[in-house]
């Protein structure tokens, strides 16, 4: 059986980024760099690698530099070229008008609401979601691994990973069913449960392939955890109606929604970069003395 291809991805980027203040007072948290690329660039690269063609950014006030980032910087490129400088580093930042759409989430009503803001652009096809502050690093990337599984199983596919039991309350948590390799059936989903109520320590880690019916559910979704319209609650209603599975990502995950995870990601990536690994290693060792 062939499953409709995943051609579109939603990037909810309207969040206020309060955990990184004052850094994020005037710049979006999605523009914070890991080494020399902003977080949002890694997510877009991951989407492209998975064959996704259209990037839909759900933005808000103060987020327009994300649009600038994915535009052609004419003055910059013109000036650099005239001075004989290489502009190839900018190639990955250019999204042509057919490949990107920006919609606004006008009020911070929750992740579920942010996704729902993209409903008209999604239309009637399966789509991916990327939470850019979950930085998934691997080869192939997380979404490519998920798309490969989706081609086999169809339906809804989310990425999950294990965290220590005492950390589950910050996340969406799955009730796992039967497993088959990297794929685990999802029997239930709960957003930010108390540790004692959590059905497992497998958390939803910021990558989703969902069927468009989720938009209809989000339409009438009541507020959930934290008084917000939760994507997790809408997904939970699809279980039993449509296939719902989780893929365990084979790679590294850095929680760049937290300062510690963000520093870890920078260090880890710098240590993998041929142009600086040796120096960074020496610096790190020296600091740890
Ligand atoms: C969101 C989702 C949650 C998921 C998490 C991953 O929560 O609602 O299910 O586990 O992202 O980072 P948030 O971090 O927005 O509170």
Got the DSSP string for 206-261?
EEEEE-THHHHHHHTPPB-GGGSB-HHHHHHTTBTTB-EEEEE-SSEEEETTSHHH
pLDDT in tens, 263-289: 999 999 999 999 999 999 999 999 999
pLDDT in tens, 179-228: 999 999 999 999 999 999 999 999 999 999 999 999 999 999 888 999 99
* Virtual torsion, Cα 118, 121, 124, 125, nearest 10 deg: -90
Residues in the chain: 289
Report the alpha-carbon distance of residue 233 to residue 117 in Å, rounded: 17
Report the alpha-carbon distance of residue 16 to residue 61 in Å, rounded: 9
Q: How many angstroms does the Cα of residue 172 sit away from the middle of ligand 1?
A: 6
Q: Which domains does the chain have, with CATH numbers?
A: 8-257 (3.90.550.10), 259-289 (no CATH)
With cut-offs at 50, 70 and 90, classify the pLDDT of residue 17: confident
Alpha carbon separation from 143 to 51, 87, 128, 149, 233 (Å, rounded): 9, 28, 8, 10, 22
**pTM of the complete model:** 0.96
Q: How many angstroms does the Cα of residue 133 sit away from the middle of ligand 1?
A: 10
Q: How many angstroms does the Cα of residue 206 sit away from the middle of ligand 1?
A: 7
Residues with CB under 6 A from ligand 1: 111, 131, 134, 171-172, 191, 203-206, 230-232, 257
């Amino acid at each position: 059986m062939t499953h409709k291809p995943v051609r579109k991805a939603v990037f909810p980027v309207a969040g206020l980024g309060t955990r990184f203040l004052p850094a994020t007072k005037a710049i979006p948290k999605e523009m914070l760099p890991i080494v020399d690329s902003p977080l949002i660039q890694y997510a877009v690269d991951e989407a492209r690698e998975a064959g996704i063609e259209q990037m839909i950014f759900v933005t808000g006030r103060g987020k327009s530099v994300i649009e600038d980032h994915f535009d052609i910087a004419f003055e910059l490129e013109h000036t650099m070229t005239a001075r004989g400088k290489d502009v190839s580093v900018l190639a990955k930042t250019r999204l042509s008008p057919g490949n990107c759409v920006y919609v606004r989430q006008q009020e911070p009503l929750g992740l579920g609401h942010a996704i729902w803001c993209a409903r008209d652009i999604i239309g009637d096809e399966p789509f991916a979601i990327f939470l850019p502050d979950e930085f998934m690093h691997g080869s192939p990337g997380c979404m490519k691994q998920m798309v490969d599984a989706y081609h086999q199983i169809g339906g809804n596919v989310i990425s999950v990973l294990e965290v220590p039991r005492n950390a589950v309350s910050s996340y969406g948590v799955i009730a796992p069913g039967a497993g088959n390799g990297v794929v685990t059936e999802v029997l239930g989903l709960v957003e930010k449960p108390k540790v004692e109520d959590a059905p497992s320590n497998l958390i939803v880690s910021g990558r989703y392939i969902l069927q468009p019916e989720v938009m209809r559910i989000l339409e009438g979704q009541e507020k959930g955890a934290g008084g917000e319209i939760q994507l997790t609650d809408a997904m939970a209603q699809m279980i039993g109606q449509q296939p719902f599975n989780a893929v365990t990502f084979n790679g590294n995950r850095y929680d760049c929604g937290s300062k510690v995870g963000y520093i870890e990601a920078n260090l880890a990536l710098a240590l993998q970069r041929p142009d600086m690994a040796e120096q960074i290693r020496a610096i790190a060792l020296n600091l740890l003395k």
